Structure 1
């Protein structure tokens, strides 16, 4: 009886050890799983000026940044007071790139030929406006600064 009980105990002991084995996961498997679930088109924190930096909600921070950039561009372009020969009511698009160091630059512009005809210096004015933006804190993804690009509409109205 003791031998039978000892045999059953040993059989149970050896078979149950397999249940306690842990499976090793390689770093490549972890990387593949992380990148599959990773959204590369969104950031955790948008670029921000000092006034917008303490806003924790993503959409509110994005709105604050966009509004501050728009206000700044409006004030810079309004100060130019260009003279036009015909009325302009158009929207141009500016692709604003913010580097991982917070440095703004114009990636590209979509400007209608009629606007360029009436305001030949508009490109220069936009570049000057971007170059003189106040300090920008870069966007972050998982705590790491990343570069971002924004498509910004600029409404041009002149009479």
Structure 2
């Protein structure tokens, strides 16, 4: 075999070997990513959904307080417009369960209430759902810098007679 032929065979073998090198490096990278994803706590978030006037650099507890205060204030303002009052001897609390998706859109999942509240205010669910359509813009929660879907439950205290 001549020098040129040996050189061409060497280049061919080098090319084959380097393809395997890059492929195995890509496989190792994917394995590391998969391991990281398996170890990640998907039930917690790094930052809460935020309204424009909440501080994104604040600690998680402060972000949560700001978010809950704003959403509760929005529900209270809506309910005050309709002057809902329930005939009840005990506290009338309604749990509103909603989701904020990765784009910051909010939607009601469920509204848990006593049967007597449903009987007295059959339009309650529709008003709450409609109220959320007029909520100020919300930035979604973040997990490792990536917007994620989050689910919340907010108790709403109704006025009683």
Q: TM-score range by the shorter chain?
A: 0.7 to 0.9
Size of the aligned set, in residue pairs, is 136
Report runs of 4+ in structure 1 exceeding 2 Å deviation.
53-56, 86-89
Partner Cα separation in structure 2 for residue 57 and residue 83 of structure 1: 37
Q: Gaps (5+ residues) in structure 1?
A: 1-23
Who is 1:20 aligned against? none
Who is 2:16 aligned against? none
- Helix, strand or coil: the match of 1:92? strand
CA deviation after TM superposition for structure 1 residue 83, in Å: 5.9
Partner Cα separation in structure 2 for residue 28 and residue 73 of structure 1: 45
Who is 1:152 aligned against? 154
8 Å Cα contact 1:101-1:145 kept in structure 2: yes
Q: Given the two structures, how large is their TM-score scaled by the length of structure 1?
A: 0.77
Matches within 5 A, 1:10-159: 26-82=28-84, 86-87=87-88, 89-159=91-161
Who is 1:15 aligned against? none
8 Å Cα contact 2:85-2:159 kept in structure 1: no
8 Å Cα contact 2:99-2:106 kept in structure 1: yes
8 Å Cα contact 2:99-2:109 kept in structure 1: yes
Q: Given the two structures, how large is their TM-score scaled by the length of structure 2?
A: 0.76
Partner Cα separation in structure 2 for residue 53 and residue 99 of structure 1: 20
- Helix, strand or coil: the match of 2:50? coil
